[in-house]
Structure 1
């Protein structure tokens, strides 16, 4: 698209969504990029809200100096806590969409119109800016993409949603989504929890392609390995709480099958050679008992989870 066409498109977007879009930016020590991100986001949103999560640098002062509404956390609560603050702010404001993007400069504010459009058009409740919905996107370093795919599969297994970029923090929410979502985590698992909770509440999700910038970014606040492990642990907690039959029953079934087969092997050896292996019997018996208990716990907890879900629907 030429410059004139792009300018016309941007002007049509601003005219169409004037006074309806809030851009929310959770931040923690982002003084290097926050000024630029806020200034560029203001071109596509009626208001830019920065939730500062206990920064110790000049993030707050810079964000205010370029015109952002700043909400400060006295202490660091984590990204999940910052997102909850944004959702609470949105539910008390008359807007058509909240679009969330990172404050480190990786997300391009120029993509806001594309991300928010499906929500404003009523096509979905949550629009996720995906780095991978178009296969030609190749800028992500291999080690990051590998870890992201692991998290994608775990999130999809938990929520049932088939998405290409579950960990993208660039997403737009409808007023219904902002009001209905109930996020518990304070940590980096908030993206996965949002998808899981949206699935539980029948909120529709779409993905749109976005660009992302890695060159010149001042690193991540969290070590990628620590970040990934924290998200994995949180997803496992989600599976435990919302799909207990899978969490307990799946491993229980595997242990039961293993214990049974291992025990049969010991019996066959004894019948054929007369040699008795106490270790085989102990391992087989212990595995089978644990497996049966896992299946039993999964069945009971799954029934309780179903009852709780029915009570919530009635309320």
Structure 2
């Protein structure tokens, strides 16, 4: 591959006005495959990557140039004694970048938020990128905590959880306080979301990281101190004894000593009932007792499966989405008693009424998508039947009295049209579901 020298005219054309440091990458035969992904990741995070190479024949360097990433020509072989990082630094200065973040290991993830802060806080022009603090070991038990503005409690929760887990992961979901810093100081690995993505968004990050770390057991608990970290051991031991893919720390089991506010108990009864019916579990003896508990243990099978599921929502309804996933995958679900303390500061950051409405709406939407015949078709048929009944009464009343009952006629029309619409909608949704299943089965068979 032959390239012209990276001259002043080219530099002037590609110079950008920016106050953000550039991200430098040196392509080698060993890291060649990782160069394009590393460069694109830097772009997605708002940084401009600059790529050079130890040799212009390195494939990763050539690909970077092809995808419109700023490249710096490697030096000729007779000048190999010049450090390519020095060349990147010189080029970044000439272009006008305020600094250079040296991404020396393109195979590793970068914590761009911390790298940027470090670059801005130092007098040095070039700094090494700060590696993303992921779980580096292969923990048998990984405790994970989705956290948003939990600075008041996160240190104690992490410290207590470390007594019962091999490692603790905290996903800081765009907190505006010191949650991330305090969690690190307490000994947790911390992943930070730049913006708040919701409870479900944090769970998806946790499943992906637990899968990457090959954890045998993943236990998720809240960061506000409501859950007792000592129960981590109970959930994991139950999972090992029963081989259940999912074990739920339930507030309704006999050994639980949880005291509910009356409004919360009533709301949970409604949500639990709707969730179980939505899962197709009719007999109360087979119901999941606490469908909204956030204290859960997942085994390796469940971790891998959930990490690959993009259909889980970002909000609090993710707890229900996970149960639907487990039901479809025929996972065994067990429950053990756990005591939840509501006597903590900021135990719930959401309005309970709005939270309940959101959960019920999410459940009904899921049921409608998965069981359109039972959720829409049957009620629609009943509605249409009622409409026909009201129509009969309307005509009978008109014949007997000679006066047309307008109100009864409108009721008849409403029930009939609503029923017909619901029936047709259920048929269409049912057909779409069957078609999607056939497509998925065909795709799976091919691959």
Q: Could you say what the CA RMSD is over the residues aligned between the two structures, in angstroms?
A: 1.8
SS in 1 for 2:314: coil
TM-superposed CA distance for 1:184, in Å, is 2.5
- Match for 1:154 among 274, 278, 283? 274
User: CA offsets, 1:133-186, max 9 Å, x none?
Assistant: 228745111111111111101111111351111000000011111121224211
Partner of 1:175: 300
Asked if the contact 1:22/1:95 (under 8 Å) is kept, the reply is: yes
CA separation in 1, counterparts of 2:235 and 2:180?
26
What's the secondary structure of 1:87's corresponding residue?
helix
Aligned to 1:99: 219
Match of 2:236 in 1: 116
Q: 234, 247, 263: which is aligned to 2:362?
A: 234
Name the structure, 1 or 2, with higher relative contact order (CA <8 Å, separation 6+): 1
User: Which TM-score applies when normalising by structure 2?
Assistant: 0.64
The corresponding residue for 1:186 is 314
Structure 1 gaps, min length 5: 1-17
Look up the match of 1:72.
192
When structure 1 is superposed on structure 2, of 211-220 and 33-42 the one drifting more is 211-220
Residues 248-269 of structure 1, C-alpha deviation per residue, up to 9 Å, x if partnerless?
2143123212211211111221
Indicate which of 250, 253, 274 corresponds to 1:130. Answer: 250
The counterpart of 2:201, out of the listed 59, 73, 81, is: 81
Question: How far apart in 1 are the matches of 2:258 and 2:231?
Answer: 18
* Residues 297-306 or 40-49, more deviating: 297-306
Contact 2:168 2:188 in 1 (8 A): yes
2:332 counterpart of 1:204: yes
Whether the 8 Å CA contact 1:33–1:105 is kept in 2: the answer is yes
Which string of whole-angstrom CA distances, capped at 9 and with x for unpartnered residues, describes residues 267-304 of structure 1?
22122222212332233123212212211221231132
Residue aligning to 2:433? 305
Deviates more, 1:201-210 or 1:117-126: 117-126
SS at match of 1:109: coil
CA distance in 2, matches of 1:260, 1:127: 49
The 1-side partners of 2:332 and 2:149 are apart by: 33
Question: Under a length normalisation based on structure 1, what TM-score does the superposition of the two structures give?
Answer: 0.89
What does residue 251 of structure 1 align with?
Answer: 379
Match for 1:43 among 160, 163, 166?
163
Per-residue CA deviations over 1:29-51 (Å, capped at 9, x if unaligned) read: 01111111100000111110000
Whole-angstrom distance in 1 between the partners of 2:401 and 2:257: 62
**Could you say which structure has the higher helix fraction?**
1
In 1, distance between residues paired with 2:167 and 2:427?
49
Residue range with higher mean Cα deviation, 86-95 or 290-299: 290-299
